[in-house]
Chain A
Amino acid sequence: MLSIEDLKVHFEIGKRGRDRKVLKAVDGVTLTLKKGEAYGLVGESGSGKSTIGKAALHLVPITGGRLVIDHEDLTRIDQRSEKKLRRKAQMVFQDPHSALNPRMTILRSVSEPLVLHTPLRGAALQARVAELLETVGLSSQFLYRYPHELSGGQKQRVCIARAIALNPDLLVLDEPTSALDVSVQSQILEFLKALQAELGLTYLFISHNLAVVRYLCRRVAVMYLGVIVEEGETEAVFNNPRHPYTQALLKAVPYPQAVQPDKGPPLGGDIPSPVDLPPGCRFQTRCPARVEGLCDKVAPPEIQDAGGLVRCHLFAEAGRASG
C-alpha cells in the first residue's frame, strides 16, 4: 500500500551563511505497509516519526528517497498526481482542538475534502456529511455546531470523519489520542479498530505511547533520531526487544499495576539534537551496551532476519551468519 524507500527529510535552519545548519529529521528510512494493516511508528520527540507521516502526504518537502503509494510513485508530485494522492491518503492530527477551523461549522469542516474533490453540493453534500458523522458515531445534530461546542473526543471523531470522507486507502494517524483523556482514548481506539475492519483501511499509526501501539498495531518500527533502529511484528518486538534502545524504552514505561517489575536504573542522558548528530551509532551516547571504538565510529549495519530488522553492532555477527 505504502512504500517508503530510503526516505530523507532534511530541513535547513538558521540564517543563510555560516549559521546555516541541516536538521536531519528523517535520514534514510525504509518501510513498507501492506494493504489493510496497522503499522505503528514509535519513538520519542526528535525521532522523526511525525515527519515521516507528513512526508507521506507531502506536507513537508522530501529531500531524498522514494515514496510509493498504491503502486504509484509520488515522490515528486504535480497538480494531477497531487489530486490522486489526496484521494488515496489522508491524515488525522494529534490535537483535535486545533485541527478544526474555529470559524467553520462541523458541516463545513467535514465538507471541505468533498467540495475540493467531488461534485457533491447542497443537499447531497449534506447527506454525505451526515452519513460520515454517523459512521464515526455522531448524530446529525452536530452538523451546525462549532468546534468549541464539542468535547475533545467528539472533535477527534469529526476529524476522522473528515479524513475518511474521500474513502482513502491509507490513513496517517499522528498521535490521534495523545490529547485525549484515557476513557475517551479507549473509545477512539476501539472505534479506530472497528473502522479499519469495516473499511479495510491501512493505518500508519504514529505514537509515543507504546501501550496504544501494542494494542492497535500488527507491526511496529521503533525510531531514534531519524532512523529506524528496530522493526518487526509488534508482539515479537515487545516480548523480545533486541535493540538496546527498544529495551530501554520498554523498561521506561511504568505499568498500571500494583507491583512494578524490576526494571533496573533508567536510561540516562538526553536525546541529542538532530542538528548535531553523534558519529557512528546515533544511540551510542546513551547506550548501556556501547562498545568503545566501534559504536562511536562506525554506523551500525542494518540486520534483517526472521525476527525483523535491527540496526545495531551487537547483532552484526548473527546477521552475517544468517545473511
Chain B
Amino acid sequence: MAESIRSDTAALPGFAERHAGTIRMARLYVRTFARNGSAMLGLAVVVLFLVTAAIGPWIVPFPEDATGAIHLDQKLQPPDATHWFGTDEVGNDVFTRVVLGTRVTLQIACIVTGVAMLIGVPLGMIAGFVGGRVQEVIMRITDVFLSVPGLILAIAIVGALGPGIVNAMLALSLVWWPGYVRLVQAKTLSLKNEIYVQAARSMGASKLRIVFVHILPNCTSPIIVKASMDMGMAILGAASLGFLGLGAQPPFPEWGAMISIARTYLPDWWWYSFFPGVAISITVLGFNLLGDGLRDILDPKHRE
C-alpha cells in the first residue's frame, strides 16, 4: 500500500504544476484585493489587531494592571510619556488594558462567529438540500430567532444564565446562527439547480457527495464574507453586553466593560473611555472593510 502511494506521487507532476490553476486564481484574487484601498486598510487594521492580540502580554508596559493591581497614587492621570493612554480610577495603565483587551475581544469574535457557523451552516444546508417539511421546521425556528432583536435576546439569555464572559459568548452565539441558516439555505437552494449538480447526479453521485463536493465549496465565499463582517458585529455585541455589565466583569480588561465604568468619569477624564472606544470602532471598521473587500473578490457579480 505504502509502495503504491509512493509510485503514485512519483508519477504526478510537481506541486506548482498541479496547482497552477489555483495559483493563478489566488494571484488574481490578491491583485484585485490589493487594488482596493479600503479593503487593504481593513486588512491592515485586522492584521494589526491579530498581532497585538498575539504579542500583547510581552509589549505592554504594566502587565500586572490587567489582573487587578491597584496604584491609587497614580489614578486618573492624563496621557503622558509613561501612560500613553492615561490611567483609570485605580491607577491602572489604560494602554496596557486596551492592548490586553484585544486578546479577549479576538476570542469572543472567533468563538461567537465560529459557534454560529457550526450551528447555522449545517442547518441551512440541510434545510436547503432536503427541502419539504424539514426545511419548513428549520426555517420557521430560524424566523422566530430572527424576529427578536439579537442583542435583546442575548441580554435575556445572559440574564437567565448569569453575567460573565463565557455566558456572554454563549448568548451571542445562540442569537447569531440564524443569519447563517438563511444565507446557506438560500445559496443551497440555488446551487441545487445548477447544471453541474444535475450532471453530478446523472453520474450517480450520492447526496452526501453532492453536498460536500459540489454545494459546500461553492457556498464558502458568502460564508467567509459574512463571517468577516460578523467578527466586527460580534465584537460590538460583546462590548455592548460588557457595557451593560452582563459580559466580562471588572477588572477583566474587556473594552465594553471598561467603557461602562469609564463613562461615569466623563467628560473630565475623557481618555479613560475614549481609548477603549476608539479601539472598538477601529477594530469593527477594520473587519467590515475587510469583509467588503473579500466580497468584491469572492463574489464575481461584484467584479467588473
Contacts and interface: CB of A to CB of B under 8 A. Distances in A.
B107 interface: no
Given A95-B195, A101-B196, A90 B11 contact: no
Contact of A98 (B7, B21, B194, B217): B194
A51 to B, nearest CB: 13
Contacts of B204: 82-83, 85-86, 113, 116-117
B203 A123 contact: no
Given A102-B218, A116-B205, A93 B198 contact: yes
B18 interface: yes
A247 to B, nearest CB: 34
A103 B218 contact: yes
Given A93-B195, A99-B195, A122-B8, A86 B202 contact: yes
Contacts of B205: 112, 116
Nearest to A82: B204
Nearest to A102: B218
B25 interface: yes
Nearest to A108: B213
B200 A112 contact: yes
B196 A98 contact: yes
Interface string A155-168: 00001001000000
A126 B203 contact: no
A91 B21 contact: no
A95 B199 CA distance: 11
B196 A113 contact: no
Contact of B196 (A90, A100, A105, A122): A100
A149 interface: yes
A99 B20 contact: no
A194 to B, nearest CB: 23
Interface of A: 57, 59, 82-83, 85-86, 90-91, 93-95, 98-105, 112-113, 116-117, 121-123, 126-127, 144-146, 149, 159, 162
Given A90-B203, A105-B21, A123-B8, 20 more contacts: A59-B201, A85-B204, A91-B202, A93-B195, A94-B195, A98-B195, A99-B199, A100-B196, A100-B199, A101-B217, A101-B218, A103-B218, A112-B200, A112-B205, A113-B203, A113-B204, A116-B209, A121-B8, A122-B9, A123-B11
